[in-house]
């Protein structure tokens, strides 16, 4: 696509003050995806409330781990916009350089432990169409995570399922800071902004 399906609203709109404040913490900017949702404020508000609930840090499923799960889900779905956003957020929340640099080596790289590997395998299988979660993947996940933690993990995967469809269908313009994070961490895996680059 040569341009976004729907253009985002201007960030100068005073009604967006709360949105801007929330996303300045997580990403350092208010994403164009939410500014597009804001054409129907009830959708934007519902999304933000779900985002806050899903991404709340309840314990072992840390803020960084949630963003890495979101990245693997988005990679599996093919959404380059969300790949750049999630890797940027993982970095901003203190993700270890070694993990960010080697996310796709999680099966064997010593930076990752077995609980992370189980979560990542589940994220990829749950983000595949048709769904590829098997009993073996589920059993392995249960070895490392309790019911509440599994709900958190699947909450992240499901949230990004929504965002992947939204942003790829909209061809949402990728913001400069997110594009820089994508280039830093993902370019070696063949990442580029694709349909999200309308410069």
Question: Hey, is 166 helix, strand or coil?
Answer: helix
Say which CATH number the domain at 111 has. 1.20.1290.10
pTM over 0.85: yes
CB 112 within 8 A of CB 143: no
Q: What is the pLDDT of residues 175-193, one digit of tens each?
A: 999 999 999 999 988 999 9
| Confidence check: pLDDT of 110 > 90 | yes
Residue 93 resides in a domain: yes
Q: According to the model, what pLDDT value does residue 65 have? A: 97
The CA radius of gyration of the chain, in Å to the nearest whole number, is 16
Question: Does the pLDDT of residue 10 top 90, yes or no?
Answer: no
Number of domains observed in the structure of the chain: 1
CA 18 to chain centre: 21
Asked if residue 5 has pLDDT above 80, the reply is: yes
- Does any domain span residue 29? no
Residue 36 CB burial class (10 angstroms; 0-12, 13-18, ≥19): buried
Give Cα 59 distance to the centre of its chain.
Answer: 19
Q: Please report the pLDDT score of residue 80 as a whole number.
A: 97
Q: What is the pLDDT of residues 47-105, one digit of tens each?
A: 989 999 999 988 899 999 999 999 999 999 999 999 999 999 999 999 999 999 999 99
Does the structure show a pLDDT above 90 at 19? no
Range of the domain at 147: 59-192
| pLDDT reading at 16 higher than 80 | no
The answer to whether position 6 is within a domain reads: no
Give CA–CA dist 180/194, Å, rounded.
14
């Amino acid at each position: 696509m040569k341009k976004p399906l729907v253009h985002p609203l201007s960030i100068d709109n005073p009604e967006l003050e709360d949105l801007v404040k929330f996303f300045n913490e997580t990403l350092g900017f208010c994403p164009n995806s939410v500014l597009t949702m804001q054409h129907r404020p009830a959708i934007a508000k519902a999304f933000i409330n779900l985002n806050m609930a899903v991404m709340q840090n309840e314990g072992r499923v840390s803020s960084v781990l949630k963003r890495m799960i979101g990245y693997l889900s988005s990679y599996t779905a093919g959404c380059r916009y969300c790949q750049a956003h999630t890797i940027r957020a993982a970095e901003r929340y203190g993700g270890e350089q070694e993990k960010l640099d080697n996310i796709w080596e999680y099966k064997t790289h010593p930076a990752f432990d077995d609980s992370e590997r189980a979560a990542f395998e589940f994220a990829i299988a749950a983000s595949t169409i048709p769904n590829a979660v098997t009993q073996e993947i589920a059993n392995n996940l249960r070895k490392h995570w309790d019911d509440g933690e599994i709900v958190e993990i699947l909450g992240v995967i499901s949230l990004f399922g929504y965002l992947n469809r939204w942003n790829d269908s909209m061809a949402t313009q990728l913001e400069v800071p997110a594009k820089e994070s994508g280039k830093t961490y993902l370019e070696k895996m063949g990442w580029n902004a694709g349909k999200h680059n309308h410069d």
